[in-house]
Structure 1
Amino acid sequence: MILQYKILWLDANSSDPMSSFRAKLGDVQTFTDVNDCIQYIQSHPNEPIYLIISGSFAKEVVPVIYEYSNLVQIFLFCGTVSAYSEWGMDYCDKMMMFDHGDDLLERLWNDLQNKLQEHATLCLKRADEYKQRALQYKKSCG
């Protein structure tokens, strides 16, 4: 089974096809409605989710969803990080703040690469264990 991470973007402008940030994100699920986004996260408890959220929605949404175990990371994308820094201290172990899209994307892609690399390493280790088991039977059969 392939490990799939879902990227969600909650922003009033996330559905704008002309957005350069949207184009750089690629295949993500966008939300412009807070309740639709929260409902999606709640209804997919076994799906690891990365959430990109605009500053305008953060203070309303983050306290509601913060404890969900399927939420891997929250990326707060805002105009000024300092405007959210004091409030964000309560969520710093699962939320990072960015005021530049490229910095956010670099961190997102690096984090996903690391998670997938860890998973691949575990899969390769398990495959090697099965190979060793198979070789034991090959030896005993002559």
Structure 2
Amino acid sequence: MEQAGMHVNNSTNEHRNNNPNHFIIWLDKHIGKPDECILLKCSLFMAIDPTTGLYEKQLNKDDIDQSILCEASLLVRLDEVEFMFQAFEDVEKCFLTIEKSRHKRIFFITSGSKGRMIVPSLIKNFPGTFVKDYWIYIFCANMNMAAVANAEPPTNTWALEFLDHVLMFNHQDDLMARMVVEIGNYFFTEAKRLDTDNQFDSAY
């Protein structure tokens, strides 16, 4: 993130290659633990892999652990379209990957605690990547947005400053349903743009 000694390159033409132009990035302190978020991991792959017209799981949840260990992205499929997918526990590593991939359409999921650390820097440094209506998804079991008697102080009030950029969810089904809608909207908009510009060879 923006710190002493860390330079954010604003060029959007670097690092282009033949990888998919669509990147799902997931930052959460529990995501790489085999016994954590099992249902959510399965729901993710079932939600974005309808390769036969049905929602089918394609990847094993252990692939996420391997992705974190090797610091490498995975390929998943939405129908016949490939997505890059990468999971992180470390905020800095996640930020650097987003910086390198800022020219892609990023679908970013994070927790409330990790989001508090990374979202302000993402919005500040990459306004062309996280534009309005390109939502950042905050998934946390406890929203904790307001003070409640005999409860711990609220921890997610930071999100109120970014209402044009974040959507918050406390149930995995709601998160996945909204993501599928947004992914569909993205492809529909991209298809119209490519049709208008007669650039179907650029679709990837």
TM-score bucket (shorter structure):
0.7 to 0.9
Selected match of 1:88 from 130, 143, 159: 159
Residue correspondence of structure 1 range 60-99 to structure 2 within 5 A: 60-67=117-124, 68=126, 69-71=128-130, 72-83=134-145, 86-99=157-170
Q: Give the unaligned 5+ runs of structure 1.
A: 128-142
Selected match of 1:107 from 178, 191, 202: 178
1:54, distance to aligned residue in structure 2 (A): 0.9
**Partner of 2:25 in structure 1?**
8
Any idea what SS the aligned residue of 2:107 has? strand
1:33, distance to aligned residue in structure 2 (A): 0.7
Any idea what SS the aligned residue of 1:66 has? helix
1:61, distance to aligned residue in structure 2 (A): 1.1
Distance (Å, rounded) in 2 between the aligned partners of 1:123 and 1:94: 26
**Partner of 1:22 in structure 2?**
41
Q: 1:112 to 1:47 in 2, by over 3 A?
A: same
Note the alpha carbon deviations across 1:61-84, whole angstroms, 9 max, x for none: 111112312233210101222436
Q: 1:16 to 1:24 in 2, by over 3 A?
A: farther
Q: Please provide the CA RMSD for this pair.
A: 2.4
2:118 is matched by which residue type in structure 1?
V
Distance (Å, rounded) in 2 between the aligned partners of 1:6 and 1:17: 23
Contact 1:16 1:22 (8 Å CA) reproduced:
no
Contact 1:73 1:94 (8 Å CA) reproduced:
yes
1:10, distance to aligned residue in structure 2 (A): 0.3
2:32 is matched by which residue type in structure 1?
S
Structure with greater contact order relative to length (CA < 8 Å, sep ≥ 6):
2
* TM-score under structure 1 length normalisation: 0.78
Distance (Å, rounded) in 1 between the aligned partners of 2:113 and 2:95: 15
Q: 1:56 to 1:2 in 2, by over 3 A?
A: closer
Distance (Å, rounded) in 2 between the aligned partners of 1:41 and 1:89: 23
**Partner of 1:119 in structure 2?**
190
Distance (Å, rounded) in 1 between the aligned partners of 2:116 and 2:140: 12
1:3, distance to aligned residue in structure 2 (A): 7.1
Aligned residues: 128
Distance (Å, rounded) in 2 between the aligned partners of 1:66 and 1:91: 9
Contact 1:15 1:32 (8 Å CA) reproduced:
yes
